[in-house]
Chains A and B, each alone.
Chain A
Amino acid sequence: MALTGLDIFKQLPKTNCKDCGSPTCLAFAMAMANGKASLDMCPHATEAAKENLGAATAPPVRTVKVGVGEQEIVMGDETVLFRHDKTFYHPTAIAIQIPDTLSGAELDAKIEKVNGLVMDRVGQKIAIDMVAIVNASGDAATFKAAVEAVAAKANFALLLAADVAGLEAAVPAVAAKKPLLHAATAENWEKVVALAKANNCPVVVKGNGLDDTAALVEKVAAQYKELVIDFGNTQQAKTLAEMVNARRLAIKKKFRPFGYPMLACTIATDAKEEIVEAATYVAKYASIVCMKVDEKPLLLPLMAWRMNIYTDPQKPMTVESKNVYEIGAVGPDSPVYVCTNFALTYFAVEGEVVASKIPGYIVAVDTDGASVLTAWAAGKFVAEPIAEFVKNIGIMDKVNHNTIVIPGYVAIISGKLKEKSGYEVVVGPQEAAGIPAFAKARYPHLMK
């Protein structure tokens, strides 16, 4: 939210001197609120006013980066509380913990396992983003050795969680990888922040609840601004409420102490509960979720969830057009349905082909995510592109017939499509809901 006239007016000298060109300070404040004037036009504005107004026009959540090169994670810079208002920009980073009590072959095995937490989903690579080395041993030298061992082999950005001694021992050795330091607390923040500053690393400020954390961030931010906030998760529901309130204050009220990315460490002990807890934080504004689970089958739904939450609602969802979709136990007799790659269109067709109980192939023509009629109107779902697409994808080599089924709403293209492609073009029902009846009438011999 932009600055209001009242916010600006309060910072002005109230001289009504007209030196800015506006008749009154209030008029000038309204001109600024409208974006038609800037503060440097006022020769009498104080330094404090400049700083306050400058800070207020900064983005509501600061951008903070961890890691370097391909491992770099960008956090923060979010502007909305609900994704449907615009979109969420930077997906939550998932950090997997490695305790420094592991060493030698055990540690190597763990790193290898964590490096393997990379999966494919709907044609995209999804993976964890960070490795969190935790100073569970309490010993600085052990921590340093573990951090160096992990840094040498891990494929992901680093989070170092230790007390002052541990961090002081380990950070200089891996500073080039720009790790995130965890954590500056009320007791140790001066030393930890000095270390972060000296090594140019971002640092987590860990408080205890909203008030305490805000006070601590305010102190730290006077010296260093590459910060991530941790409310010191002790209860899941409380942490959820804290993150929601903090993000609201940052975006709606420009409350600077909460204008940073947020980190939450899961506290659930059961692995499945931990995933559910992490999913909550992914949905509610966490930039990093630090967790213990390292099993692919458990992490895949969490990563799928993150992918879904962070898609842009303003862009149409599409399905992959590269593949022919095989629904059920298809064979050479199975029908071939042609639709567009708009996800809503495709899944409507897919659902009805499943419901028809007659196995079939679906070809999702690449229409840049437009629906059937939209794509038709835009010339993307007409005879030539469809003929070419169906030919290139090779589906007709898999079947022993020469027939494709097209949506009833584009019946008008059937003649030209037949001419261009040489296929038998059958006009299906207008709505996908008609597919089961259509299929049963046309292919009774294929019913299972």
Chain B
Amino acid sequence: MILIGERINGMFKDIGKAVREHDPKPLQEWAVKQKEGGAHYLDVNTGPNSEDQTVDLPWMVKTVMEVSDLPLAIDTTDYDAMEAALIAYGKPGALINSIGCEQEKIDRVFPMAAKYQADVVCLCISKSGIPKSAEERVALAMEFVANAEVYGLQPDNLFIDPIILPVNVAQEHAVEALETIRQIKLLSNPAPLTTIGLSNVSQKTPHRPLLNRTFAVMAMTAGLDSAILDANDDMMVDAIASARVILNKDIYCDSYAKVFRQR
């Protein structure tokens, strides 16, 4: 299970301020802290208040790389800023986060992914919005896989996100998202990877951590490979480590929860 730490995002006040002032400290502190929590990737997002993402995003990438060797998930829908950030990143293995299932986005981003040897988070959203049924979501996933072939990417360069919505207002979506994950793993060989914006499931609900980690375990059972989440939610990371052991993905030892964080 690949954990993508969500915290270096300008939506959070401390990061938003740091991005405006180009103050490296909060970014670097969160980079270290999220790795300690168990993150395998760090998501970087300027937030809505950036005046010029093509400047701010590469700055964020370089700032985080000064203290962390974790791969970065570069989070923007401004693909010029994305390219600038990929150039600043300067090595293979970044994660482009994200694109929806629209041909012009695919045509813009997949060649970029191939060029910079980056993987891509692909959202099961089309122009007509978020499909409800698993079947429609899988059809979008298939679009991504078919296009990957065209642009010389492998199916497992894709992190397909079936999209999860808050259970308090869109309760019927969660079970469809789980079914989508299960079916995506049957789509091709090698299968695409799957990911999810985990905290979405609990927007504006009480007991958010409980919903988040319960859904994480259920999604892992369906075949989830990664998630964008709060890597410092210890109960969450413990639940994920436990699920890994129960699914026979990691060899059991008494200190499995600690070992999971050290990798």
A15 to chain B, nearest CB (A): 15
Contact A5 B188 (CB under 8 A): yes
Contact A4 B187 (CB under 8 A): yes
| Chain B residues positioned under 8 Å from A53 (CB to CB) | none
B142 at the interface (CB under 8 A from A): yes
Closest to A1 in B: B189
Task: Report Cα–Cα, A339/B189, bound state, in Å.
Answer: 49
B216 to chain A, nearest CB (A): 24
B183 at the interface (CB under 8 A from A): yes
The majority secondary structure among interface residues of chain B is helix
A32 to chain B, nearest CB (A): 10
Instruction: Given A9-B142, A30-B183, A34-B183, verify A4-B189 contact (CB < 8 Å).
Output: yes
| Chain B residues positioned under 8 Å from A6 (CB to CB) | 142, 145-146, 155, 187-189
| Chain B residues positioned under 8 Å from A4 (CB to CB) | 186-189, 191
Closest to A2 in B: B186
| Chain A residues positioned under 8 Å from B186 (CB to CB) | 2, 4-5, 30, 33-34
Residue-wise, chain B 169-193 has the 8 Å CB interface mask toward A (1 for contact) of 0000000000000010011110100
The majority secondary structure among interface residues of chain A is helix
Closest to B145 in A: A6
Contact B189 A30 (CB under 8 A): no
B135 at the interface (CB under 8 A from A): yes
Interchain Cβ contacts under 8 Å between A and B, 5 examples? A1-B189, A6-B188, A26-B138, A27-B139, A33-B187
Which of B138, B145, B155 is A30 in contact with, Cβ under 8 Å? Answer: B138
Which of A7, A27, A33, A253 is B135 in contact with, Cβ under 8 Å? Answer: A27
**How extensive is the interface on chain A, given as a class?**
10 to 19
| Chain A residues positioned under 8 Å from B135 (CB to CB) | 23, 27, 30
Residue-wise, chain A 9-40 has the 8 Å CB interface mask toward B (1 for contact) of 10000000000000110110010011000000
B56 to chain A, nearest CB (A): 39
| Chain A residues positioned under 8 Å from B155 (CB to CB) | 6
A27 to chain B, nearest CB (A): 5
Closest to B185 in A: A4
| Chain B residues positioned under 8 Å from A30 (CB to CB) | 135, 138, 183, 186-187
B101 to chain A, nearest CB (A): 13
Where the two chains meet, the residues of B that have a C-beta atom closer than 8 Å to any C-beta of A are 135, 138-139, 142, 145-146, 155, 183, 186-189, 191
Residue-wise, chain A 333-370 has the 8 Å CB interface mask toward B (1 for contact) of 00000000000000000000000000000000000000
B175 to chain A, nearest CB (A): 16
Closest to B141 in A: A5
Shortest 3 CB-CB distances between A and B: which pairs? Answer: A6-B188, A33-B186, A5-B187
B224 to chain A, nearest CB (A): 18
Task: Report Cα–Cα, A295/B92, bound state, in Å.
Answer: 57
Task: Report Cα–Cα, A5/B188, bound state, in Å.
Answer: 6
Task: Report Cα–Cα, A144/B177, bound state, in Å.
Answer: 68
Residue-wise, chain A 422-436 has the 8 Å CB interface mask toward B (1 for contact) of 000000000000000
Task: Report Cα–Cα, A15/B191, bound state, in Å.
Answer: 25
Instruction: Taking A6-B155, A6-B188, A33-B186 as given, write out 4 further A-B residue pairs in contact, using a Cβ cutoff of 8 Å, ordered by the A residue number.
Output: A4-B189, A23-B135, A24-B139, A253-B189
Task: Report Cα–Cα, A33/B139, bound state, in Å.
Answer: 14
B189 to chain A, nearest CB (A): 5
Which of A2, A7, A26 is B139 in contact with, Cβ under 8 Å? Answer: A26
| Chain A residues positioned under 8 Å from B146 (CB to CB) | 6
Interfacial residues of chain A within 231-289, with CB under 8 A of chain B in the complex:
252-253
Closest to A32 in B: B186
Closest to B188 in A: A6
Task: Report Cα–Cα, A159/B138, bound state, in Å.
Answer: 52
B23 to chain A, nearest CB (A): 47
Interface hub of B139, B145, B186 (most chain A Cβ within 10 A)? B186
Residue-wise, chain A 368-379 has the 8 Å CB interface mask toward B (1 for contact) of 000000000000
